[in-house]
Amino acid sequence: MAKYNSKDIQVLEGLEPVRKRPGMYIGSTSSAGLHHLLWEILDNSVDEALNGYCDKIEISLTDDHGVTIKDNGRGIPVDLFKNTKKSAMEILFTTLHSGGKFSQDNYKVSGGLHGVGMAVVCALSKSLVATSRRDGFEWTQSYAKGKPLSKLKKGKATRSYGTTVYFQPDPTIFPKVEFSTKLIMERAESKAFLNKGLKINFIESKNKHTFHYPDGIQDYIKKIVGKKSTLMENPIYVEKKDKLLRLETTFLWTPDTDTQVLSFANSIRTVDGGTHEIGFRNGTTKAMRAYIERRKLLPKEISSITSDDVREGLIAIINVYLQGEVEFQGQTKGRLNSEIASQVEVVIKHSLEHFLNENQTLGDTLANRIILSAQARIASRQAKEAVQRKTNISHRLNLPGKLSDCATTDKDQAELFICEGDSAGGSSKQARDRKTQAILPIRGKILNVETASLAKTMANSEIQNLVSACGTGLLNKFDYSKLRYGKIIIMTDADVDGAHICTLLLTFFYRCMPEIIRNGHLFIAQPPLYRIDVGKKLYYAVTEEEKDRIVKNLNGTQFDIGRFKGLGEMPASDLRETTMNKKSRSLIKVSLNNAENASEAVSQLMGKNAEARYIFIKQKAEFAKDLDV
């Protein structure tokens, strides 16, 4: 037995725990974790704005992969911290759980609550320089990997106030240290939207971008809606403020079926929702129910209106500011846990009911739209029940007849390949590993769920086969625990039609089974276009450029090139080696990094509004090449 005693126990001091386990503090060391460092410093400046001490923030990218954030707030305190010989600034940057936000004396409202943000950024930075302008002078101190490099230095005299923080992420912690200008601009824009009057400048490559929105989230929702058709000329705006809570929200309904709700707490985006979203959902549902009942608009075949009926087609921004103890879920603050659901619900229900009663023509239009959602829900359920009654395929799992299932029952090992047509299905069945790989051929181009009604989607036979094969159900009936395959792989021909089918399938999974994408189960196969025979050696090329590169590297050696017309005509041995063999294949993992942008892109490219696609094509036409027309 191996010895285990006190010598094997480590005690990590100072900021060593952060460098040892950065994922505990910033989620991961991926791009999301890298940008989380920037968000922590930016949120400190925004907190100054939230409390009325700052109206200008500047973000600048530097050539050494660093970033500088400057504000005109009060400046970081620099006087000696009690019972130490260190300045308050040094304590803030080198000590976990230190800060001025644990009480309400200095910050009535704040997004930073745990006192770890500045210290974590310092710990994970190769270099960090903090400058505080206050008390008539500039005060500067430098740090590296969580440790001070110098004492606090008193600089030139100044009458201005504020803080400047420069930091360079540590490349030994982060595999990639390049910041995304797109992500920074999106975050800066959202912060400006959420804080009326705050001006945020972003400077990169000598380009300056300014974000300043006098009407706050009312400007925000107009940007989100863009040129989408809506059921109302202007969004509903509600603002309520008391001693502990300030609620600001704006929302409207569209004829679309998708829902887009952006929620924030103390200017922090709560991507996983929370109690403010629950209160908003309950308030809108109860208000619409009360209005429909009072106006006696509900048809006899509908027993009640559900929250899903009300949410369909809804675009909303919910922004709350809380004083006192604010409970987020984790340091990354993805979900709000503070008990404010009932407070938000009361405000939303009262405000929406008042609005509907004051605007009954519009109120009836919104009510009819919600009733239509309820009718579609009932119709889809009836269609599904009818299909389940009629089908005689595999009563145990209700699997589609064309599915060639795999032998394993281990979800993590099982893979489902979705291919186009019986011909490709036949080749795929010969090429697969029967133990772990299942094949589902689909017939041509499936229904575009972005433009189809829910009832039509549920009644489509190809979609029924997809849903049955996955085992999870879809939309509000989705049950992740019933997923039958760890990998769902879209495998279509490497041509324009194949790309179109792939896009339709991506749209289906994004709109009807988004959890499969969020949990990392959806992939796209990369079948080759070309086979290059050089004596006894074989090379495969996915693209024209790859083919040319291989040929060039042959240096005049004799070769033969064959172009695959499709998966159905590809020999099973080639298909197995290039596309299905786990050791030699290449897969593209489908991920969802920005839900707002993804929804906008799907609506633009797959929705009913042809004008949006026309604009997109005009903007991107110059970059297109090798068009198959």
Q: Residue 402 class from Cβ within 10 Å (0-12 exposed, 13-18 middle, 19+ buried)? A: middle
On whether the CB atoms of residues 126 and 139 are closer than 8 A, the answer is no
Closest CA to 48 of 58, 56, 40, 60: 56
- How many structural domains are present in the chain? 2
Is 163 in the same domain as 284? no
Pair 224, 290 in one domain = yes
592 assigned to some structural domain: no
In this structure, what token pair is assigned to residue 72?
């005109």
Q: Which of 329, 344, 379 is the last residue of a domain?
A: 379
Question: Which pTM was predicted?
Answer: 0.56
Adjacent-strand bridge partners of 239: 248
Q: Do residues 168 and 233 both lie within one domain?
A: no
- Asked whether residue 272 is domain-assigned, the answer is yes
Tokens of 567: 């998966």
Sequence length of the chain is 629
Q: Which domain holds residue 232?
A: 217-379
Q: Exposed, middle or buried by CB within 10 Å (0-12, 13-18, 19+), for 109?
A: buried
Please count the helices (runs of H) and the strands (runs of E) in the chain: 20, 22
DSSP three-state, residue 298: coil
Same domain, residue pair 243 and 322: yes
Contact criterion met (CB below 8 Å) for 270 and 333:
yes
Residue of 69, 84, 95, 79 lying closest to 148 (CA atoms): 95
Domain boundary among 360, 379, 398: 379
Closest listed residue to residue 449, CA positions, set 467, 470, 468: 467
Residue 263's H or E segment, with its range, is strand 260-265
Backbone dihedral region for residue 205 (phi beyond 0: left; psi -120 to 50: alpha; all else: beta): left
* Residue 317 Ramachandran class (φ > 0 left, ψ -120 to 50 alpha, else beta): beta
What is the distance, to the nearest Å, from the Cα of residue 488 to the centroid of all Cα atoms in its chain? 20
Contact (Cβ atoms closer than 8 angstroms) between residue 337 and residue 275: yes
Residue 422 falls in the annotated catalytic set: no
Answer whether 141's CB lies under 8 Å from 118's CB. Answer: no
Q: Which of 184, 211, 238 is the last residue of a domain?
A: 211
Which among 420, 450, 462, 574 is annotated as catalytic? 420
> SS3 for 266-316, per residue?
CCEECCCCEHHHHHHHHHHHHHHHHHHHHCCCCCCCCCCCCHHHHHCCEEE
d(CA 564, CA 582): 21
Same-domain pairing of 245 and 369:
yes
Domain-embedded: residue 121: yes
Q: Which is catalytic among the residues 90, 309, 353, 493?
A: 493
- What is the CATH number for 126? 3.30.565.10
420 is catalytic: yes
Which of these is catalytic: 497, 546, 596, 600?
497
Alpha-carbon distances, residue 43 vs 35, 113, 195 (angstroms)? 12, 11, 12
Q: Give domain status of residue 393, yes or no.
A: no
pLDDT at 52: 84
Mean per-residue pLDDT pooled into runs of 10, the chain (629 residues): 43 69 85 91 90 92 94 92 83 73 41 60 95 94 93 93 96 93 92 91 92 92 89 93 87 91 87 90 96 92 90 94 73 75 94 95 94 87 60 49 85 90 84 91 85 82 89 85 92 84 90 90 90 86 85 85 81 86 88 76 77 70 54
Both 52 and 145 in a single domain?
Answer: yes
Distance CA 412, CA 426 (A): 25
Amino acid, res. 486: G
Q: Do residues 118 and 229 share a domain?
A: no
Name the strand (E) or helix (H) holding 56.
strand 56-61
User: Is residue 612, in this structure, part of any structural domain at all?
Assistant: no
Residue 405 lies in a domain: no
User: 559 in helix, strand or coil?
Assistant: coil
Same domain membership, residue 236 and residue 164 = no
How crowded is residue 233: how many other Cβ atoms within 10 Å of its Cβ?
Answer: 7
Q: Which residue has 């009480």 as its token pair?
A: 103
Assess if residue 608 is contained within a domain.
Answer: no
Give yes or no: residues 280 and 341 share one domain: yes
Residue 189, helix vs strand vs coil = helix
Query: Residue 76: which of 87, 65, 61 has the closest Cα?
Result: 87
d(CA 125, CA 142): 11
Looking at the fold, whether 226 and 290 belong to one and the same domain comes out as yes
Could you list the beta-strand ranges (E) of 543-594.
560-563, 587-589
CA 466 to CA 280: how far, in whole Å? 34
How are beta strands 437-442 and 415-420 bridged, if at all?
A: parallel
| Residue 545 within any structural domain of the chain | no
Q: What pLDDT is attached to residue 625? A: 56
How many angstroms separate the CA atoms of 148 and 142, rounded? 6
Strand partners, 209: 202
Same domain, 195 and 230: no
Residue 497 appears among annotated catalytic residues? yes
Do 173 and 240 lie in one domain? The reply is: no
Domain of residue 272, CATH code: 3.30.230.10
- The one catalytic residue in 495, 515, 577, 600 is 495
Tokens of 588: 């593209």
Residue 622 known to be catalytic: no
CA distance 200 to 213: 10
Residue 213, phi then psi, degrees to nearest 5 = -130, 100
CB contact at 8 A, 51 and 108: yes
